[in-house]
Amino acid sequence: MDIQIQWFPGHMAKAKRQVQEALKLVDVAIELLDARIPISSGNPMIDKILGNKPRLIVLNKSDLADTTTTKLWQKQLNKSNVKAVAVDTLKGEGLKEIPKAAAELTAELMAKLAAKGRRPRAIRCMVLGIPNVGKSSFINRLVGRKATKTGDLPGVTKGQQWIKIGGSLELLDTPGILWPKFEDPEVGFRLAVTGAIKEQVFDIYEVSSKLLKWLVENNPDIIKNRYKLDTIDFEIPLMIKEIGAKRGMLVSGGVVDELKVAHLILKEFREGTLGRYTLDLPKELSNILNSCT
């Protein structure tokens, strides 16, 4: 399945320049990823842009991902200058870990500043992430009521502002948009089912059918129970019709509205009604699964 996303090199180059300029002003780059698809929701360009800059990876929407797999992802992602934290921005879970992780990443820098006689200051951060990964919700939750705008600073583009969070962090509010350019259709599929791509640019029935097939292969009982199916039929078109009939999703003549069923499956997957899943697997788990096949 091939999902096409408009990808503009000119826009990408502009976003890249904005990020590079802002990076000179910050101590830590906070990269938001979808915990269900930590690979697919990332942008390989960010690795090149950040270089050795301390990075705090936020695995957002962790309430929708498999808990055990998220912990494996954290273990795999953690390095000397990289920390990974699982967060649910809707409920605010995991957000208290952000200042702690930022402090660990900048401990050496702050020690050097102190040795030079500099007064302690807040850790300066910026947030990166592809569209629809929850960046705005994360910033709003992190900022909360304790935030105070500290005004424009030298070197900051007009419209960008430092927002002080409590007394420990300052966030550079820079709306940079970075889309990944992907060749693998599986990446497109995973971005589509998790809601990162607008539904206007892909075939909803096709994506939903592939998702239903994956769910039947990985967790057939929840599909059978949720949609009150008598049996699990691996003929996906027939299953979609049966789900529609059971739910009364009919048009004139008693025909099943298959597109409405497709929307339902996508909606319930995204909301976590069909269970918690991680579609991108860390190496440790991939190796185990590969050895079993």
Contacts of residue 194, defined as CB under 8 A and 6 or more positions apart, other chains included, come to: 34, 36, 37, 41, 61, 270, 279
How many angstroms separate the Cα of 140 from the Cα of each of 13, 85, 135, 147? 27, 17, 9, 10
Residue with tokens 């949609």: 227
Distance CA 112, CA 67 (A): 38
Q: State the binding site for GTP.
A: 60-63, 132-137, 176
Determine phi and psi for 184, rounding to 5 degrees. -75, 120
SS3 content of the chain, % helix, strand, coil (to 5): 45, 15, 40
Closest alpha carbon to 193 in 64, 23, 81, 18: 64
Closest alpha carbon to 220 in 233, 210, 208: 233
Tokens representing 198 are 């607008």
Q: State the binding site.
A: 60-63, 132-137, 176
Tokens representing 183 are 């060749």
First to last CA, the chain: 24
Distance CA 216, CA 282 (A): 22
Tokens representing 216 are 């039947």
DSSP letter for each residue of 169-232: EEEEE-----------HHHHHHHHHTT-S-GGGS-HHHHHHHHHHHHHHH-HHHHHHHTT-SS-
How many angstroms separate the Cα of 76 from the Cα of each of 57, 70, 83, 285? 12, 10, 10, 11
